[in-house]
A and B are shown apart, each in its own frame.
Chain A
Amino acid sequence: MAGQHVVIIQGRNGEDMTKIISLNESSLYLWNIMSGREFTPEDVSAALVEKYGISEDLAAHDAEAWCGKLKECKLLAEQ
C-alpha cells in the first residue's frame, strides 16, 4: 500500500484498518521467512547474519528488537 509493505490484522470485525503495521525491507525479509511457523530469536538472528553478513552480537540484538516489536503489535504468540 502506497509503496510500503504493510500487515493488516484480521480481527473479529474483518480487516482492522485502525492497526496497520508497516514493514521496512529487513523486517519484511524476516516476516516472509518466519510468518506462519514457530521460531526462536536465534533463528531470526541466524537469518539476519546470513542475509546481511552482520556480526552475531548485532544480529542477536536486532532479532530481540524485531521479536519485541511483533509482540508489542500482538503479531507474535509466545510459547
Chain B
Amino acid sequence: MGNNGSGTLVLPNDIFFSHVSESLAEGKTVTFIVKGYSMYPFFRNGKDRVCMAGYDGRELRKGEVILFRYRGKYVMHRIYGVETDPGGTTVYRTVGDGNVRGRETAVPCEIAGVALKRLTPSMKEWSCSSWSWRFLSALWMRLYCVRRWCLAVLRRIYR
C-alpha cells in the first residue's frame, strides 16, 4: 500500500479487487474510480466511477460491461460475443472499449460483477440499462474496425 503524499492511499490492484469481489459476492453494490484507458470513452481513466453489482449467474447480453478475472488479474471490459463451448459452458468474449487489439474470454465462474451505471466526477449518473447507453454501446461495437480513428478524434474532444 502506498501513500502518494497528499493523504491518498493507493492500494495494490489485487488487494483492492479482492475486497471488491468479496463485497460483490456478498450481494453489495460497489463504486470505484476506473483506472486505465481500456474502457475509454465510456469510462475515462481516473475520472469516471463505475457502480457495479455482483454477478448472479444470469445469462449476460452482448454489450454488458463486466468485471472478471483474466490471467490472474481483474479486468473490466465489454462483452462482444456470447458462445457455448462443447461442454455446455457459456463463454463470453470481451474487449475493452478503448482497445483496438487484445481480446479476452470469460466463463461465468470468473465473473465478479456487472456494471450498473457510470458516474462522472460531477456525480452525473448514466445507467447502463438506459436507452442512450445501450445505443451508444452498440454503435461503438459496430465501429470496431474504424475504432482507431474514432479514438484519435475523441481523445482530442472528450477528456
Contact = CB atoms under 8 A, between A and B. Distances in A.
Interface residues of A, number: 13
B39 interface: no
A interface: dominant SS:
strand
A68 B1 CA distance: 25
Interface string A11-35: 1011111101010000000000000
B97 to A, nearest CB: 21
Interface in B55-74: none
Interface residues of B, number: 20
Contacts of B138: none
A77 interface: no
Interface of A: 1-4, 11, 13-18, 20, 22
Nearest to B1: A2
Nearest to B29: A14
B22 to A, nearest CB: 10
25 contacts: A1-B11, A1-B19, A2-B1, A2-B12, A2-B15, A11-B31, A13-B29, A13-B31, A13-B119, A14-B23, A14-B29, A14-B30, A14-B51, A14-B53, A15-B28, A15-B29, A15-B30, A15-B31, A16-B31, A17-B16, A17-B20, A17-B33, A18-B31, A20-B9, A20-B11
